Amino acid sequence: MPAASAERKLIFGVDVGTMKTCVSYAMWNKRRPKTPDIVSSFSINQNSVFPTTLAYRKDKSVSWGRDARVGNDRVIKWLKLFLYDREHPILSESPNPALPDGVPPEQLIPDYLRQLYAAIQKKIVSMRLPTDTVTDFWFSWPAGWSADNQQTFARAVRAAGFASKETDNLFFLTEAEAAALYFMYNGNLNMPEDCRILVCDVGGGTTDIGAFHVQGTGSDAVYEPLGKASGVNGGVAAMDAAVRQHIKDQPPHTFGLARPLNEDLLDRICALGKQFDGSEKNPLRADATGQITVPPTVLKDSLNPTVVSIIKLIMANIVPPRPGEPQVSAVILTGGGSMVPYLLKQIKEKLKHTVALYHLDKYEPTLVSWGATYRGILGRAVPRLYFDHSYGLQAAEEAIIHNERKSDPKMEREKSPIHWFIRKNQAIEGQRQNEHYFDIHYRGGDAAITMIHLLRHTAEFPDANDEDSKRWLPLDLRLQELDLSCLIRIGDEYSVPVRIAWEVVEYKEKRAIVKFTAQSKEALLGVQDITLDGCRLAE
């Protein structure tokens, strides 16, 4: 790699949301400290928030963002939903115009991102950087997306031109991790120097959850994810869709009308839902005359399904993955949903006397893109590797407990789902420990040994059901030191909670040595160093 690009690198963080898109960027310099103030917002005509909308012109050209609303062409929104959930309630409650002939739904996001990529390239040219300057693009995606959703989005990003140059690199992270990075390094929340936090990012179409162990403060903070991030299909736009559907189901006289509400009144009532905090006793005015009103109970009933699903997600993730681990001590609420008074009040009430709740008083639309950019800055501190295969872990015998009959619970054993801990052609950081949990089946009296298989696959996003996953090497787990009296037991069958931690400890000549450590509670079950061939260093 030329010296110029080894010393400097351009990093873009991209947050493509259901309703808006934001981009941040930073010029990384090997000799400059990793200070948050080097992250800037990408803007066009002084606008740094771009609506995630498209319009196809009669001349076949494409307008995007704010320009899509200029003229009389049909504006298409909710582009992101077409990638992963075309049956989403938002699409039925706020339908789009018919797509132009020859434009399939899956083409919308690539067409949108193609315009964004062109705008970013103009910015790069204006910076007059050396031609060999490397550009890293960090895209955020919802934590709840399946491997298929991730694969579809990655294809759309590449189809738009990102990573089409030899000097481009493409990376992905969850929206929850990006939001957590913003608060850790730029949020000024005065959290303890050693704490476990849960970030809840309530966006437009999804809500993302991620738990992290944070040590240190400011630019010196370090963090590690706790367990697996998760999410639900529910956010601000989903709340609007739920309100619209519930309101339309009510008889007109509920609102002082003799005929059904029109679209304008429905929009006004949705706006009321964003101001409502649940304490109102009198009907809320939906028009200037005060003749059209909305009973508070109607707004509560329309908001509650989404609010309850978000609270359930938070409560499920406050509990540590395994008994004996410290509990999350703080919940950070962010995203557009954190500005909805009713949701905020309900979360505060639920978490009262349990954990601390932090949130911003003012909405920061570029929060996720800022965090994605800073993730790229942090990524330069350690070596990153690309692998020629995907690698996964699968328990030979996982314990499955059936409680349908509480008086007669049963434990069965079967192969666990495959946890793909390395994806082909996706960067992996060395010197950073990752982990995954299994519930291993063990029958009392059997040999005190079991195994977790290491699998290899040629695809980036393997299908768990195909037969191309090759069993490679086993991780032997020795159970002699285990205190069986502390385990879940049904008859002579036990469920053994096993934490598998792994990290790349050495890289040499296209080979990486990965250290696997298996533990159950306080017992060490095994440590193995395994060499993985076919990898290269990301410069």
Question: What separation, in Å, do the N-terminal and C-terminal C-alpha atoms of the chain show?
Answer: 7
Same domain for 212 and 149? no
Chain centre distance of CA 491: 40
Same domain for 35 and 76? yes
pLDDT digits (tens, 9 = 90+) for 466-502: 666 778 778 888 888 788 888 888 888 888 889 898 8
Rounded CA separation 34/9 (Å): 13
Residues with Cβ < 8 Å from 441, sequence gap 6 or more? 397, 398, 399, 411, 413, 450, 493, 494, 495, 496
Same domain for 140 and 203? no
**Is the pLDDT confidence value at 1 over 50?**
no
Looking up residue 13, the CATH number of its domain turns out to be 3.30.420.40
Same domain for 297 and 155? no
In the prediction, which pLDDT does 36 show?
Answer: 62
In the prediction, which pLDDT does 404 show?
Answer: 59
Q: Which segment of 237-251, 298-312, 375-389 scores lowest on mean pLDDT?
A: 375-389
Residue 368 belongs to a domain? no
Boundary (domain end) residue, out of 305, 325, 359: 359
pLDDT digits (tens, 9 = 90+) for 245-291: 888 889 988 888 888 888 888 888 888 888 889 888 888 888 888 88
Rg (CA), the chain: 25
Same domain for 329 and 476? no
Note whether 390 and 462 are within 8 A (CB).
Answer: yes
Same domain for 409 and 506? yes
Residue 348 belongs to a domain? yes
pLDDT digits (tens, 9 = 90+) for 201-231: 999 888 999 888 887 776 667 777 777 778 8
Residues with Cβ < 8 Å from 357, sequence gap 6 or more? 330, 331, 333, 347, 348, 351
Q: Check residues 60 and 157 and name the one with the higher pLDDT.
A: 157
In the prediction, which pLDDT does 5 show?
Answer: 45
Structural domain boundaries enclosing 291: 188-359
Rounded CA separation 87/247 (Å): 20
Q: How many domains would you assign to the chain?
A: 3
Same domain for 158 and 199? no
Select from 122, 213, 196 the least CA-distant residue to 434.
213
Rounded CA separation 26/48 (Å): 15
Rounded CA separation 238/202 (Å): 10
Residue 19 belongs to a domain? yes
Q: Check residues 60 and 208 and name the one with the higher pLDDT.
A: 208
Same domain for 232 and 339? yes
Rounded CA separation 184/162 (Å): 28
Rounded CA separation 147/155 (Å): 12
Predicted structure pTM score = 0.70
Please state the three-class secondary structure of 444-490 as a single string.
Answer: CCCCCEEEEEEEEECCCCCCCCCCCCEEEEEEEEECCCCCHHHCEEE
Looking up residue 530, the CATH number of its domain turns out to be 2.60.34
Place of tokens 């508070």: 296
Residue 377 belongs to a domain? no
Q: Which segment of 160-169, 453-462, 463-472 scores lowest on mean pLDDT?
A: 463-472
Q: For CA atoms 194, 374, 230, 385, give the dihedral sign.
A: negative
Residue 419 belongs to a domain? yes
Residue 211 belongs to a domain? yes
Same domain for 495 and 529? yes
Residue 370 belongs to a domain? no
Extended strands (E) in 105-263: 134-141, 168-174, 194-202, 207-215, 222-232
